[in-house]
């Protein structure tokens, strides 16, 4: 990937609403050239989308946790992501190597809500869980360098 495309990605990762004009100024390209490069990056799915950085404390969900799951019965179908898709507190789901099969990033308002969520996850996917609660987030969603 060209250095100019990497710079465009880094700028958009910092501010997904940056205008093509401002991207052009920052990269030394014309607005039209930047527009073409961004469209190409989108078409190649290097840029998958644009989003807002949310302050979950202000949304009433200050508790972040990671839940590692593994099937109670290893012979059961590997369909946990589908079984858990409708649970709104789950922000992310990653397939991982190791003892667990998946790691879920979740957000809730209170420890009691997390406990309730754990029960729903176990019941929906027939899994055992191991939970890590986040105390402090120093950085998250770091930009491309």
**Structure confidence by residue, pLDDT tens digits, 101-138:** 999 999 999 999 999 999 999 999 999 999 999 999 99
Give backbone dihedrals phi and psi of 34, rounded to 5 degrees, phi first.
-65, -45
- What is the pLDDT, as a whole number, of residue 5? 93
| Dihedral (CA of 143, 52, 111, 76) sign | negative
What is d(CA 136, CA 79) in angstroms, rounded to the nearest whole number?
32
Condensed to tens digits (0 to 9), the pLDDT of residues 77-111 reads 899 999 999 999 999 999 999 999 999 999 999 99
Domains and CATH numbers, the chain: 3-44 (1.10.10.10), 56-133 (3.30.70.920)
Model confidence at 141, pLDDT cuts 50, 70, 90, reads: confident
The answer to whether the beta carbons of residues 114 and 66 sit under 8 Å apart is no
Pairing of strands 127-133, 90-95: unpaired
Give the residue carrying structure tokens 């754990």: 118
Q: Cα separations (Å) of 96 from 16, 62, 133?
A: 29, 25, 19
- What is the pLDDT, as a whole number, of residue 144? 65
For 16, the token pair is 């997904």
Buried b (16+ CB within 10 A) or exposed e, 3-38: eebebbbebbbeeeebebeebbeebebeeeebeebb
The answer to whether the beta carbons of residues 30 and 24 sit under 8 Å apart is yes
Flag whether pLDDT at 65 surpasses 80. Answer: yes
Model confidence at 145, pLDDT cuts 50, 70, 90, reads: low
> Going by C-beta distance under 8 Å and a sequence separation of 6 or more, which residues neighbour residue 138?
none
| Span 4-11, average pLDDT | 91
Model confidence at 51, pLDDT cuts 50, 70, 90, reads: confident
Flag whether pLDDT at 64 surpasses 80. Answer: yes
């Amino acid at each position: 990937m060209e250095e100019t495309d990497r710079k465009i990605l880094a700028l958009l990762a910092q501010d997904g609403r940056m205008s093509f004009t401002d991207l052009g100024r920052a990269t030394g390209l014309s607005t039209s050239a930047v527009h073409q490069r961004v469209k190409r990056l989108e078409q190649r799915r290097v840029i998958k989308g644009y989003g807002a950085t949310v302050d979950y404390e202000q949304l009433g969900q200050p508790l972040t946790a990671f839940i590692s799951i593994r099937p109670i019965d290893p012979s059961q179908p590997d369909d946990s992501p589908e079984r858990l898709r409708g649970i709104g507190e789950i922000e992310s789901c990653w397939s991982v190597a190791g003892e667990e099969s998946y790691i879920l990033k979740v957000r809730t308002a209170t420890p009691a809500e997390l406990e309730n969520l754990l029960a729903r996850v176990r019941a929906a996917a027939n899994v055992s869980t191991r939970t890590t609660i986040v105390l402090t987030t120093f950085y998250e969603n770091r930009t491309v360098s």
